[in-house]
């Protein structure tokens, strides 16, 4: 089939929920992807923070093939081998005592919301707590729980009513949380680094304050580390940089190196409120995804791998900040940490930069809101690739 025929087929048969550029990606290797016309792109999107170890990774293929050759799926009616092994790794490297596995980020948020409310009913039987405080400008996925907890009205439009019992405060404004927290509040949900909302990091004092408030008012603290966790922000989990641990944490995107997976990590206190039958997912704890995730997690949790991310991060942010100084009239801020970076443009739509960099430089970057060009390379990116991506933005800014 020609590229045109594939796109025509897509436009005829696929529900049009996405706007895509007119090329078809076919194969990838390392940090590069090739389209059906043989054009190669340097990838600074990583499948939206998923392909942490790049494309055509032999370790991922071997782990997937080995598991496919043994057992593909049996449902959660039965024990399988990879899921508990992965759960052990996740717990041994984090605050958590237990893990619930599902298939995507938004599903892990659904589970977090349900477990928090169950904890609220179980522990406060006389006056059950069920109110959740989420943050304005957040993003937690596209299911009803996910959009209801997402503090961006555009995701709600046309889909109301939202799930009741969710109210919004502002990231880095402790008073705004204190103002709406009351005896009915069961949990505060936030991204330690808001990604889709424009790359905004939480302030240490804010996270410390929210943690103290949660302890004082007997509320759970839920961190959504679906995009910022697992090395992306420069530490295995983003919360480690703050020394503030949550009671529940959601993970997904890179955990299985490109295969679908979601995980909701909880303390034993939260686990004690959840009983068999309370929640389930047919494909959850999928043997192939979990077998691959074990290998991906071993790689990402290695201290040398994390040190490599930090070194490349310093290089990326050094270059981006120099670019900001050079184009002070067009770039107002460089935000982010680790290998998630946003260049905030002034009066130039970020989508224009994204399109120009793809068309002129064969580099894929994405946006985070209307004015932020987002850099999300695979964590195995090299400095020479960082040079190419930043130079491409420089070229765009020179011309615009
Ligand atoms: C912080 C955060 N939470 C939740 C989600 C939803 O994840 P998924 O698309 O896998 O459902 C995303 C996706 O971008 C995200 O960045």
Q: In this predicted model, what pLDDT tens digit does every residue of 39-55 receive, in sequence order?
A: 999 999 999 999 999 99
Confidence of residue 326 (pLDDT cuts 50, 70, 90): very high
Q: How far is the CA of 141 from the centre of ligand 1 (A)?
A: 5
Structural domain that includes position 355: 3-56+303-399
Task: Return mean pLDDT, the chain.
Answer: 98
Read off the pLDDT of residues 289-325 as tens digits, 9 standing for 90 and up.
Answer: 999 999 999 999 999 999 999 999 999 999 999 999 9
Residue (of 121, 113, 170) closest to 143 by Cα position: 113
Give the per-residue pLDDT at 272: 98
% the chain with pLDDT above 90: 100
Task: Note whether 289 and 170 are same-domain residues.
Answer: yes
* Cα separation, 144 vs 141, whole angstroms: 9
Task: Note whether 294 and 341 are same-domain residues.
Answer: no
Residue (of 93, 114, 92, 94) closest to 102 by Cα position: 114
Give the per-residue pLDDT at 311: 98
The ligand 1 atom nearest the CA atom of 225: 1
Task: Note whether 368 and 244 are same-domain residues.
Answer: no
The ligand 1 atom nearest the CA atom of 109: 4
**Is it true that the peptide bond before 297 is cis, omega within 30 degrees of 0?**
no
Q: How far is the CA of 81 from the centre of ligand 1 (A)?
A: 27
Instruction: Give how many domains the chain has, as a whole number.
Output: 2
**Mean pLDDT value of segment 137-154:** 98
* Cα separation, 254 vs 229, whole angstroms: 9
Which pTM does this prediction carry? 0.98
**Mean pLDDT value of segment 261-273:** 98
Name residue, tokens 């436009």. 11
Name residue, tokens 């002034």. 346
The ligand 1 atom nearest the CA atom of 143: 11
Give the per-residue pLDDT at 233: 98
Q: How far is the CA of 264 from the centre of ligand 1 (A)?
A: 13
Question: Ligand 1, from 52, 102, 106: best to mutate by most atoms within 8 Å of Cβ?
Answer: 106
Task: Note whether 201 and 274 are same-domain residues.
Answer: yes
And the tokens for 67? 């598991």
Confidence of residue 70 (pLDDT cuts 50, 70, 90): very high
191 within ligand 1 shell (Cβ under 6 A): yes
* 3-state secondary structure at position 193: strand
**Degrees to nearest 5, angle at CA 198 with 25 and 100:** 75
CATH of the domain at 240: 3.40.640.10
Last residue of a domain, one of 269, 300, 331: 300
How distant, in Å, are the alpha carbons of 185, 188, 211 from that of 121?
Answer: 11, 16, 21
Give the per-residue pLDDT at 238: 98
Read off the pLDDT of residues 168-200 as tens digits, 9 standing for 90 and up.
Answer: 999 999 999 999 999 999 999 999 999 999 999
Give the per-residue pLDDT at 114: 98
And the tokens for 82? 């990879």
Last residue of a domain, one of 266, 283, 300: 300
* Cα separation, 189 vs 249, whole angstroms: 9
Backbone angles phi, psi at 170, to 5 degrees: -110, 135
Read off the pLDDT of residues 89-138 as tens digits, 9 standing for 90 and up.
Answer: 999 999 999 999 999 999 999 999 999 999 999 999 899 999 999 999 99
Give the per-residue pLDDT at 273: 98
């Amino acid at each position: 089939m020609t590229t045109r025929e594939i796109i025509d087929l897509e436009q005829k048969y696929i529900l049009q929920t996405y706007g895509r550029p007119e090329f078809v990606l076919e194969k990838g290797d390392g940090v590069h992807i090739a389209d059906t016309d043989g054009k190669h792109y340097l990838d600074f999107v990583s499948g939206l923070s998923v392909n942490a170890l790049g494309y055509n990774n032999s370790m991922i293929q071997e782990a997937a093939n080995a598991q496919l050759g043994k057992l593909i799926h049996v449902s959660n009616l039965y024990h399988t081998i990879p899921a508990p092994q992965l759960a052990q790794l996740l717990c041994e490297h984090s605050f958590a005592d237990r893990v619930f596995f599902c298939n995507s980020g938004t599903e892990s948020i659904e589970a977090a919301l349900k477990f928090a409310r169950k904890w609220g009913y179980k522990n406060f039987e006389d006056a059950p707590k069920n109110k959740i405080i989420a943050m304005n400008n957040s993003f937690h996925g596209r299911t009803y729980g996910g959009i209801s907890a997402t503090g961006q009205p555009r995701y709600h439009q046309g889909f109301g009513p939202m799930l009741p019992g969710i109210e919004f405060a502002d990231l880095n404004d402790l008073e705004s949380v204190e103002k709406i927290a009351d005896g009915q509040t069961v949990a505060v949900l936030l991204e330690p680094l808001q990604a889709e909302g424009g790359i905004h990091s939480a302030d240490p004092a804010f996270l410390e304050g929210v943690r103290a408030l949660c302890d004082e008012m007997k509320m759970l603290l839920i961190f959504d580390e679906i995009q910022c966790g697992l090395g992306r922000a420069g530490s295995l989990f983003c919360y480690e940089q703050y020394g503030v641990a949550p009671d529940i944490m959601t993970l997904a995107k890179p955990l299985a190196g490109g295969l679908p997976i979601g995980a909701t990590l909880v303390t034993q206190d939260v686990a004690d409120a959840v009983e068999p039958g309370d929640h389930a997912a047919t494909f959850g704890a999928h043997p192939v995804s979990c077998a691959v995730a074990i290998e991906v997690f071993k790689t990402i949790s290695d201290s040398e791998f994390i040190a490599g991310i930090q070194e490349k991060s310093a290089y990326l942010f050094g270059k981006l900040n120099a670019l900001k100084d050079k184009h002070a009239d067009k770039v107002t801020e460089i935000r982010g940490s680790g290998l998630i970076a946003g260049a905030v443009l002034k009066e130039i739509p970020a989508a224009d930069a994204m399109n120009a960099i793809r068309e002129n430089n064969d580099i894929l970057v994405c946006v985070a809101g209307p004015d932020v060009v987002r850099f999300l390379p695979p964590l195995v990116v090299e400095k020479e690739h960082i040079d190419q991506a930043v130079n491409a933005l420089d070229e765009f800014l020179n011309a615009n």
